[in-house]
Structure 1
Amino acid sequence: MRIIENNTELRPFWAKIFNFDWKFGSFLILIICIPRFLLVLDANASGNYSLIGAVMIVSAIAPFIFLSKSGRRKIGIIGTRKYKWILKSLIFGAAASLLLYYLGHILYGISYENWFAYIAKSYKIPKEICGTQKSILFIIMAVTGMTFSPIGEELFFRGIVHSSFAKSLGEKRALLIDGLAFSITHISHFGLVFLNNHFKLYVVPTILWVLSMFLLSLLFYYCKKKTDSLLGPVICHGAFNLGMIYSIFYLL
């Protein structure tokens, strides 16, 4: 019988099956990241993104499914009084998105080799839209972008996945693993692009995009450490998405 006294992060049912370690973290990556990768590719081809929100919801509730109350607190699902770092997290996220926008614009203009230009396809912004209608659509997309993926991805990657690897492999290795999982998963958003009814890999832009996502993952983790809470990376991630959506609507 599995010894669960030192496995208090997991709910009793799951503690009988798993240890809270790198094997459990690998299991989570397999059951969440691979289906998500395939679903996003399919959505890019079909234009139907309805299931992506469901993936983010599943990612967000994973800690509540698998972890005990003390386990959720240990991974950072707690409040924080470090308000200065919450504000800094907001600024860092917005600044990172604008830097990534300008890098893409300088290197690739408005071609689909520019990550934000390709991602903009999924927003389906009518060319004739302007004024109030454009502002309303922007607000809708901004609110959606600042909630679903920041909460889902941070509770998943910087939360339950990182902590499970960190317990058995240490913080540095866990940071590398969850950063790689996060950045490689985002190849489905940009990298394997769907154009002219087939997928194509933009090698150099993809490398730059993956590296950017990895560095972004490090930034999110930094905000977690500074706030002692997952609220830091959620705020930073939300600000990044806001900056990206603003860039797509008003700068491209």
Structure 2
Amino acid sequence: MEYSVRPIWHKLVTLDWKFGLFLLLFICIPRFLLVLLANASGNYSSIGAIMVISALCPFLFLTSSGRRRIGLTRPKRYGWLLVAFLAGLIFSLLLYYVGWSLYANTYQNWYVYIGKSYNIPQAINPSNKSILFAVVALTGMLFSPIGEELFFRGIVHASFANSVGDRKATQIDGSAFALTHLSHFGFVFIHNQWHFYVVPALIWVVSMFIVSMLFIKFKTYSSSILGAILCHSGFNLGMTYCIFYLL
């Protein structure tokens, strides 16, 4: 499907598994390391840059026809967009209850550890907390859903699907998405030391794989990658709410 690739890349790029693997290595390895460094330093400014680069990949490499093929098109079933958002929100709440039931308010709870990065002041008053929540929630609902879905469920999925079919491509991009999120929780930096919580990390990775299956399903149901983006946005909103108000 070379005609989906911009002419400038024709001699270098074919939309196949090799290109998909290149994208995963080029984006995910630096992102993994940058998130780990950010967890240790408390400076997360570089993560936004990775999300922007991820989002730009389809526009950099694909023609308008190619972008439509990966789902960058108007939804055919608008009703599924609301369902997608609610499904992501509900899944995030379920994941909160699993974490709280098993690990309560400890750093083995994925939301507790991720919440460290939000830097919520302990003495913050309700009004300022609401403002901070709105800012964090809005950021989380835009940057990572757009960047990650255009990347994982978009150009990466299409690259692998052209070689191994949609089903296997879904498993590959879902696995890559889940393993990449080990940098967010799994390898944890606490009291100036690194730890790896095997069972909580396994639950987290499996959960990220399952939610990535939700994302691709709603991309299919809505006939647009917007379905995946909104499901992802709903998940991030729910996670942010849990961190701010339920922990």
User: 2:118 aligns to what?
Assistant: 123
Identity %: 58
Following superposition, the deviation at residue 9 of structure 1 comes to 1.4
Following superposition, the deviation at residue 130 of structure 1 comes to 2.1
* Residue of 165, 170, 188 corresponding to 2:183: 188
Following superposition, the deviation at residue 81 of structure 1 comes to 3.7
| Contact 2:141/2:234 (<8 A) preserved | yes
User: 1:144 aligns to what?
Assistant: 139
Structure 2 CA distance, aligned partners of 1:206 and 1:15? 40
Following superposition, the deviation at residue 15 of structure 1 comes to 1.7
Following superposition, the deviation at residue 8 of structure 1 comes to 1.2
CA deviation vs aligned residue, 1:84-141 (integer Å, no higher than 9, x gap) = 1001001101000000000000000010000000000000000001211000000000
Q: TM-score, normalised by structure 1?
A: 0.97
The 3-state SS of whatever aligns with 1:200 is: strand
Letter in 1 for 2:38: A
The correspondence of residues 162-241 of structure 1 with structure 2, limited to 5 A, is: 162-241=157-236
User: 1:111 aligns to what?
Assistant: 106
Structure 1 CA distance, aligned partners of 2:71 and 2:140? 22
User: 1:249 aligns to what?
Assistant: 244
Q: TM-score, normalised by structure 2?
A: 0.99
Structure 1 CA distance, aligned partners of 2:13 and 2:76? 34
Structure 1 CA distance, aligned partners of 2:30 and 2:89? 29
Superposition RMSD on alpha carbons, in Å?
Answer: 0.7
Number of equivalent positions = 247
The 3-state SS of whatever aligns with 1:249 is: helix
Structure 2 alignment gaps of length 5 or more: none
User: 2:59 aligns to what?
Assistant: 64
User: 1:3 aligns to what?
Assistant: none
User: 1:19 aligns to what?
Assistant: 14
CA deviation vs aligned residue, 1:5-39 (integer Å, no higher than 9, x gap) = x4111111112102110000000001000000000
Q: Does 1:33 align with 2:28?
A: yes
* Residue of 10, 30, 45 corresponding to 2:5: 10
Letter in 2 for 1:46: S
User: 1:84 aligns to what?
Assistant: 79
User: 1:161 aligns to what?
Assistant: 156
